[in-house]
Structure 1
């Protein structure tokens, strides 16, 4: 039954869209559509202490696509993505080097039909899904090949209420591999409270190949208040996770203040452990945005992870600047996983072009569980049309 649902839904949506298109002049319709183009050239290095050589990569990510104009609320979008390497001295392309997680390949990045009317919208097909801050469901936009979903997504938004449900059939990750799942993604928020926006969610994943399950339920509060001339922001979130055999807790507490364009943030994020046997997992997340840009904790250790971080950022002459310090410890026990400092400078030249440089330096702790001192550098330029 599962294998029949997606083709049937797509066929019905395509039939409706095509019927609507046929009612108008096809040539005029094509001219009114939008061409999509996105190119990112990036130089990346990874020097991880150990037996392999330091990695160097120069890769180009190219996306080309087209989206039709809206016809009776329907749109059709198709986009292809290609990653090429001009310097490929990195693992994936060569096992003698440290890892750069940007394999070379070409794929259909998005192929979707969307519908929107009043407060309701829907997208069916291969698509990009980003919910909240992408901590649980995201597109891994930092990697050259983004993560997409073969899914049916339905959303409703009116005034302060936002609701979303997605049925996910397949996850297409940034390594150009796919994972068959039966996942139900539910997210709802209310932004009408004086203290901020309250969100509740349930992310229920079953892996088709193994029948393993991963059920996550949680809630968050995100808000901002102005005290004198200081903008104070805060975030509190808690979630529980069950695999059938293990249970784990997630929570984050974060507070920030912005004065004269400079924002300072202090937070603690904990991906809990189940008695040292299992660490809280976020398999659909944009993980690079969390727990350090060196990406040493993409998989949560079995003893869990407590990440205490301080961030300072602002803009000078249109250049975004940010510095972050992380202190990593185990959630279960007192193991020291080490620390990391991250630096970012990025500038949008105009609405189409941007450039940036980013650096991450991880120092392994006494109980780093096989991790080693790591330095990573990125320099990039991007053009979007």
Structure 2
């Protein structure tokens, strides 16, 4: 939603919240300015003789947090733009409401959260806020939270509609119409924890007013942590109905091991997203839903939408990551990805069949400098070495050198506007 924003709106929020001094409360303001300069020469798509692109994009965000005993609220306004994307001397409203929610506790164990909010669970693998993208992702929904004796349970849901209507609920936007999820987490001992999740999302049937295709995703995440060693494993299955009307039978499997030996951290892992070869009776391609895929499948974002970006062939991602943190303020990481299709693809009228599943290898390097708690600097460079099979799913020339570089600054102070004590 795009809205016009003036300082008067912020002042109004402050005036509304300021009088609540009857109990302990805190009011924080968190402004953020995050410009990022990017050089793109093969980012998301193979180069094919074109010149590389250079630009600067920027997120400007203003977040107001209020907390008082059993009540919390957040209002987060943001403007996302590319430098120079508006004519001078022209008033173009572009501020959006990223978050606007209120949370209240029903007891010491139960609370309710309502409004526009981020849904982030299990390391962003299926539900994430995609914070790398300047606009990020949020949902208009309801969240019920329960906490007791080391067990955490969240139940969330959303129902989307384009506008207020008098009849029917036909939804034409390219979003889910209905979303519901249940997440449960339990720490079994000091080293081992487990979480279970079930996500159901429904999409409007194009030929009906009230009909909805429902997709169901469910599985487990295991996490083992002991001093220097960390082991992670995930297994998810996907069923229900695809937008094509076919039944879904797909799965996701993850295995990862990490070893920390200061100042180094080594991580090795594999992720398998099932796929399909051609016109099968069922859809076997796993969809990663509302994940932060930038975090898992290479920073050059060739696999943001895994079903579409692999021509339904699925993805096998083997990776090795090395992190180096010599001092608290400095960190450097290098990631290597080996990408392959889960299934070879059949030929179409425009695209060839594949006989070799290897798609290519990617190297991502990132240098981070934390100047202070308020200011951070980032420098990144990535290269993709594509195999010939990549041309079957991405336009361009696989033999061309593909690279992407970026520099980003994040300025984000946290300002305590007011702290109230109990009277």
Q: What TM-score comes out, normalization by structure 1 length?
A: 0.81
Q: Choose the corresponding residue for 1:239, options 236, 239, 245.
A: 236
Q: Is the 8 A contact 1:276 1:332 kept in 2?
A: no
Aligned-residue CA RMSD in angstroms? Answer: 2.7
- Deviation of 1:170 after TM superposition, in Å, equals 4.3
Match of 2:313 in 1: 303
- Deviation of 1:27 after TM superposition, in Å, equals 8.0
| Structure (1/2) with the larger strand percentage | 1
Rounded Cα–Cα distance in structure 1 between residues aligned with 2:265 and 2:65 = 38
- Deviation of 1:108 after TM superposition, in Å, equals 0.9
* Deviation digits for residues 229-264 of structure 1 (CA, Å, limit 9, x no counterpart): xx1111111111124222111101111111122111
* Structure 1 residue ranges (4+ consecutive) displaced by more than 6 angstroms after TM superposition: none
Match of 1:64 in 2: 62
Rounded Cα–Cα distance in structure 2 between residues aligned with 1:202 and 1:121 = 20
Rounded Cα–Cα distance in structure 2 between residues aligned with 1:53 and 1:87 = 20
Match of 2:89 in 1: none
Q: Is the 8 A contact 2:153 2:183 kept in 1?
A: yes
* Deviation digits for residues 333-370 of structure 1 (CA, Å, limit 9, x no counterpart): 45111110000111221111111111121121121124
Say which one has the larger Rg.
2
Q: Choose the corresponding residue for 1:157, options 119, 127, 147.
A: 147
- Deviation of 1:276 after TM superposition, in Å, equals 4.6
Kindly tell me: are residues 273 and 337 of structure 1, through their superposed partners in 2, closer, same or farther at Cα, counting changes over 3 Å? same
Rounded Cα–Cα distance in structure 2 between residues aligned with 1:28 and 1:145 = 37
Rounded Cα–Cα distance in structure 1 between residues aligned with 2:151 and 2:218 = 19
* Deviation digits for residues 2-35 of structure 1 (CA, Å, limit 9, x no counterpart): xxxxxxxxxxxxxxxxxxx89x945899x95222
Match of 1:348 in 2: 370
- Deviation of 1:142 after TM superposition, in Å, equals 0.2
Rounded Cα–Cα distance in structure 2 between residues aligned with 1:358 and 1:168 = 36
Rounded Cα–Cα distance in structure 1 between residues aligned with 2:110 and 2:301 = 37
* Deviation digits for residues 177-236 of structure 1 (CA, Å, limit 9, x no counterpart): 87242111111111123551111111110013642322111101111124xxxx111111
- Deviation of 1:68 after TM superposition, in Å, equals 2.8
* 2:406 is the alignment partner of 1:378: yes
Q: What TM-score comes out, normalization by structure 2 length?
A: 0.74
* Deviation digits for residues 257-290 of structure 1 (CA, Å, limit 9, x no counterpart): 1112211111010111145555211121111101
Rounded Cα–Cα distance in structure 2 between residues aligned with 1:359 and 1:119 = 46
Match of 1:193 in 2: 189
Match of 2:95 in 1: 106
Q: Is the 8 A contact 2:176 2:201 kept in 1?
A: no
Match of 1:15 in 2: none
Q: Is the 8 A contact 2:267 2:321 kept in 1?
A: yes
Structure with higher RCO (Cα < 8 A, 6+ apart): 2
**Where do residues 1-385 of structure 1 align in structure 2 (5 Å cutoff)?**
25-26=19-20, 32-48=26-42, 49-50=47-48, 52-70=50-68, 73-86=70-83, 105-116=94-105, 117-170=107-160, 179-193=175-189, 195-208=191-204, 210=206, 211-226=212-227, 231-244=228-241, 245-276=247-278, 278=283, 279-300=285-306, 301=310, 302-317=312-327, 318-333=329-344, 334-368=356-390, 369-371=392-394, 372=396, 374-385=402-413
Contiguous gaps of at least 5 residues in structure 1: 1-20, 94-103
Kindly tell me: are residues 212 and 249 of structure 1, through their superposed partners in 2, closer, same or farther at Cα, counting changes over 3 Å? same
Contiguous gaps of at least 5 residues in structure 2: 1-15, 87-92, 163-172, 207-211, 242-246, 345-355, 414-423
